[in-house]
Amino acid sequence: MIVERIDIANVRNIESGSLELEPRVNLLVGPNGAGKTSALEAIHLVMRGRSFRTTRADRVIRHEQDAMSVVATLADEQVGIVRLGYAKQRHGRLELRRNGQVVRQASRVASLVPIQLMLPDLPELVFGSPAGRRAWLDWGVFHVKQDYADMLGAYLRALRHRNTLLREAADATLPAWTAQVAELGEAVAAARGGYFEQVVPEVLACLAALDPDLVVEFAYFPGWNADSLAEMLVQHLDRDVKLGATQAGPHRADLRITCASEGAAQVLSRGQGKTVASALRLGQAKDLAKSGKPSLFLIDDLGAELDETHNQRYHRLLEDMDCQIVATATQGAIADVLMKSRGGRMFHVKQGRFAQA
């Protein structure tokens, strides 16, 4: 499924604009502050139901405007045309629509196209907290296991309930909720672990293509060390009561990245971290494409922080992938290789307005 058109109204500095997108490469070129990243954000809003820059949707609305909206037209040979709509009033509710019908769960639109975000903070996937790496795992599992979103949601609800009871320190229903956390937690961990084994070969292949001399290892940590989560929760009940929160489970999981037996965050440069993080995104996209779900890449500041050699390798990987790309750059020359090899469309962005080159 590809995005054919995006219509944007009152998203940050974009008053009103439309983009007719190519199935291959779409490059947004312009000076800093022109609205290039805001266009990527608008696409993310309508495709994921949320911003990648803030949790406050009202802060995305253009200054002195009461509401914003984004409409996306998607096309697929089997499904046909799908229209998505995102609307948010400054002091009102957020509304998502799919083919005119209100959607209560953002997962109903997010499941259509796997989005791979390549933003300037991409190295934080390696250097940042485990939460980002858990999100990477969950995004992949979500697109290959149909009931995963419901399973993960049920686990998190049970976890919150158990944590509430732990803080009360005396409730007859605590054992029952502990059992539910254990059962759901084991299922979430198994789904993540299965996906990890499936996707890592693709990630390693992408890493080797980006930097043959950079050797890192990936390991999946489910969030506890015992044979079973149920056993762990029973053994450490007193600790959980004392801290008022469950200390073991999938909410503590991590994708552990090491280099020469050291934590990657401690030994890699920022450029190397971006290379590893890029391999994670690219490898996930390659794996999802095998199951018939090509990704949409949203790339902000194409080519930043990578030297010429790594940029060439990075572009070559993108060339070989059957995916749609919407990327920003401060000048067109930086993506000449990608545009020439794959074909595409360039837009000049100035003061929140788009003009096709």
Q: pLDDT tens-digit profile of 180-229?
A: 999 999 999 999 999 999 999 999 999 999 999 999 999 999 999 988 99
CA distance 294 to 318: 12
| pTM score, whole prediction | 0.94
Asked whether the beta carbons of 279 and 307 are under 8 A apart, the reply is: no
The answer, yes or no, to whether residue 77 has pLDDT greater than 90, is no
| Furthest-apart CA atoms within the chain: distance in Å | 68
- Round the average pLDDT of the chain to a whole number and report it: 93
Asked whether the beta carbons of 135 and 103 are under 8 A apart, the reply is: no
The residues near 172 (Cβ < 8 Å, ≥ 6 apart) are none
Whole-number pLDDT of residue 143: 97
Asked whether the beta carbons of 1 and 75 are under 8 A apart, the reply is: yes
Phi, psi of 332 (to 5 degrees): -70, -30
Whole-number pLDDT of residue 305: 64
Q: In DSSP terms, which residues pair with 76 in a beta bridge?
A: 80
The answer, yes or no, to whether residue 335 has pLDDT greater than 70, is no
Whole-number pLDDT of residue 310: 77
pLDDT-derived band at 48, boundaries 50, 70, 90: very high
Whole-number pLDDT of residue 337: 62
Q: Where are the alpha helices (DSSP H) in the chain?
A: 36-48, 107-110, 124-127, 130-144, 148-168, 174-210, 229-235, 237-243, 264-267, 270-290, 308-320, 336-342
Asked whether the beta carbons of 74 and 112 are under 8 A apart, the reply is: yes
pLDDT-derived band at 172, boundaries 50, 70, 90: confident
Whole-number pLDDT of residue 330: 74
Look at residues 91, 109, 37, 46 and name the one whose alpha carbon lies nearest to residue 72.
46
CA distance 66 to 91: 8
The tokens describing 249, both together, are 């489970």
Residues of the chain with pLDDT > 90, as a percent, come to 83
Asked whether the beta carbons of 14 and 42 are under 8 A apart, the reply is: yes
Q: Inter-axis angle of helices 270-290 and 174-210, to 10 degrees?
A: 100
From residue 75, give the alpha-carbon distance in Å to each of 78, 112, 204: 9, 11, 32
CA distance 84 to 92: 19
Whole-number pLDDT of residue 151: 97
Whole-number pLDDT of residue 134: 98
Look at residues 277, 111, 287, 117 and name the one whose alpha carbon lies nearest to residue 197.
287
Look at residues 112, 152, 125, 108 and name the one whose alpha carbon lies nearest to residue 52.
125
The answer, yes or no, to whether residue 332 has pLDDT greater than 60, is no
CA distance 295 to 135: 16
pLDDT-derived band at 37, boundaries 50, 70, 90: very high
Pairing of the two strands 344-350 and 25-29: parallel
CA distance 307 to 315: 12
Whole-number pLDDT of residue 159: 98
The answer, yes or no, to whether residue 293 has pLDDT greater than 70, is yes
CA distance 125 to 164: 31
Whole-number pLDDT of residue 161: 95
The answer, yes or no, to whether residue 326 has pLDDT greater than 60, is yes
Q: How many residues does the chain have?
A: 357
CA distance 197 to 70: 37
DSSP three-state, residue 87? strand
Whole-number pLDDT of residue 334: 54
Look at residues 344, 303, 301, 354 and name the one whose alpha carbon lies nearest to residue 323.
344
Q: Inter-axis angle of helices 130-144 and 270-290, to 10 degrees?
A: 10
